[in-house]
Amino acid sequence: MPQRQLNNNPDIVFIETVLDKGMFASLRDMKSEVANDDAKSVMSEQDSVLNKDYTEVEVLNLIGEMCIGYTQEQAVKAVDQMVSKVKGHKLDDQSNVIPEEAFGRTAHDYIKHSIKLAGEPVVAATKSNVSLEKYLSNIRSCRSIADNELKDIEQNLIEPTVPNETYIKSKYRVQKADNIIDLEKEYKIKYDQRVHEEATRTTSEAPRTRQKVKKESKSEYYTSLDDPDESDPIEQWKESYEYEKLQWSITEMQEKLDLEFDREFVSSLRDHQQQQSTYVSMMQKAKRLREQLKHYTVHEIFLGGVQTVMVNIATSVLNAVRNYPGIKTKLKGQIQLQNGERMVDPLGKLSLPGIYAILYRDYSKASHDVFCMMLLKLMSED
């Protein structure tokens, strides 16, 4: 039978030389089932994601995009769904041992299908070997700093009160009254001292004059201090020099206190404006910190979710390779990853990037024997 060059793959050419048309059709159906787990076309969007290389920045950006629009509760639900979806897709531990090469291919396809199922961020993290634990640690540290800063702001955040003009006026009114009383006492003492001194001096200088007045007319005997018009203490006080000086002092004191009131009130208004500005600034900062804390929390949830999915997939491979010492030995070996890092014993470290890199290197392409085995298995099921 002549060969039909439908494919450049030598395995396909070989099979076509020994199988009839019906068997070849079955082969093609089997290939379609193996290649299209979830997609209808071979080169689906998910397949193009698997063929892409990712930088560390791109991985973090993809995980950051996962967080957009999620609250903490929504993020937890989304991660639980992602983890559950991948958990439901387990690698069969193959109680009936098959050739190691075939199982290696199966394990590779399992990882490929699982990370596709989890989404591009998991694919990118697997292919790039980004240290999720390092970024989780950084986020937790940033969240702790932001949380402490927010607590400090909340403890010291006091809303400023508007200056009470009525209180300040009352304070100065009372001060004016107290000062007037003090001034009156001061000038009254000066007045009394002066009057006393003048009275003493007058008495000592003119005793004989009084005696003459008394002899001439006893009925007309009186001194100038006994004059009814001049002896009214209130009138004398009000007409005194000290009283006039008192009024000047009161006016001067009141003007001084009025100016002090204006200065204090203007100063209190200025302080209030500064305090209000600081208060608004602190409120805005507190709001930003709360938003940051939400962002850090959601980011941590998704980072932790991606990490959990990757560990679960790696654990599934670890449990399944117990009966395949050759593959287990390879997975405990050394591999150079896409980012240039050399990793030893990725299986023991449950490092999905290392496990996937080794399986991709050694089992991503089915050998002739594996392909025939898969074909015969499919034929036996029919």
The candidate with the shortest Cα–Cα distance to 164, out of 30, 269, 85, 253, is 269
pLDDT, tens digit (0-9, with 9 covering 90-100), for 266-281 = 999 999 999 999 999 9
Residue 367: which pLDDT band, with cuts at 50, 70 and 90? low
Question: 């304070």: which residue's tokens?
Answer: 171
pLDDT, tens digit (0-9, with 9 covering 90-100), for 320-353 = 998 899 999 999 999 988 778 899 999 999 999 9
Average pLDDT, the chain: 80
39-48, 288-297, 304-313: segment of lowest average pLDDT:
39-48
Angle at which helix 165-205 crosses helix 241-320, to 10 degrees, equals: 150
Residue 1 has pLDDT above 50, yes or no: no
User: What local confidence, expressed as pLDDT, does residue 382 receive?
Assistant: 55
Residue 240's contacts (CB-CB under 8 Å, 6 or more residues apart) are 191, 194
Determine the Cα–Cα distance for residues 4 and 22; give it in Å rounded to an integer. 14
Kindly report the number of other CB atoms within 10 A of residue 295's CB atom: 18
pLDDT, tens digit (0-9, with 9 covering 90-100), for 209-238 = 555 444 444 444 444 444 544 568 888 888
User: What local confidence, expressed as pLDDT, does residue 244 receive?
Assistant: 92
Q: Tell me how far apart the terminal alpha carbons of the chain are, to the nearest angstrom.
A: 25
> Per-domain residue ranges for the chain?
10-132+297-381, 165-287
Query: What is the DSSP code string of 272-326?
Result: HHHHHHHHHHHHHHHHHHHHHHHHHHHHHHHHHHHHHHHHHHHHHHHHHGGG-HH
Copy the structure tokens of residue 78: 């989304």
The candidate with the shortest Cα–Cα distance to 371, out of 111, 35, 39, is 35
User: What local confidence, expressed as pLDDT, does residue 14 receive?
Assistant: 31
User: What local confidence, expressed as pLDDT, does residue 350 receive?
Assistant: 93
Q: What percent of the chain has pLDDT over 70?
A: 75
Determine the Cα–Cα distance for residues 204 and 299; give it in Å rounded to an integer. 104
User: What local confidence, expressed as pLDDT, does residue 379 receive?
Assistant: 61
User: What local confidence, expressed as pLDDT, does residue 269 receive?
Assistant: 94
Residue 63: which pLDDT band, with cuts at 50, 70 and 90? very high
Q: Is residue 234 exposed (0-12), middle (13-18) or buried (19+ Cβ within 10 Å)? A: exposed
**Helix, strand, coil in percent for the chain, rounding step 5:** 75, 0, 25
Residue 123: which pLDDT band, with cuts at 50, 70 and 90? very high
Do 159 and 279 touch, CB atoms closer than 8 A? yes
Residue 180's contacts (CB-CB under 8 Å, 6 or more residues apart) are 250, 253
Determine the Cα–Cα distance for residues 119 and 125; give it in Å rounded to an integer. 10
Question: 């439908």: which residue's tokens?
Answer: 6
User: What local confidence, expressed as pLDDT, does residue 151 receive?
Assistant: 95
User: What local confidence, expressed as pLDDT, does residue 99 receive?
Assistant: 87
List, in sequence order, every residue forming a beta bridge with 220; answer none if it has no partner: none
User: What local confidence, expressed as pLDDT, does residue 20 receive?
Assistant: 36
pLDDT, tens digit (0-9, with 9 covering 90-100), for 13-61 = 333 332 333 333 333 443 344 444 444 443 455 567 788 889 999 999 9
> Is 53 in a helix, a strand, or coil?
coil
Determine the Cα–Cα distance for residues 73 and 162; give it in Å rounded to an integer. 41
Determine the Cα–Cα distance for residues 336 and 344; give it in Å rounded to an integer. 9
Mean pLDDT along residues 71-96: 85
Residue 8: which pLDDT band, with cuts at 50, 70 and 90? very low
Residue 96: which pLDDT band, with cuts at 50, 70 and 90? low
Copy the structure tokens of residue 2: 């002549």
pLDDT, tens digit (0-9, with 9 covering 90-100), for 9-21 = 433 333 333 233 3
Residue 118 has pLDDT above 80, yes or no: yes
Q: Compare 60 and 374 and report the one with higher pLDDT.
A: 60
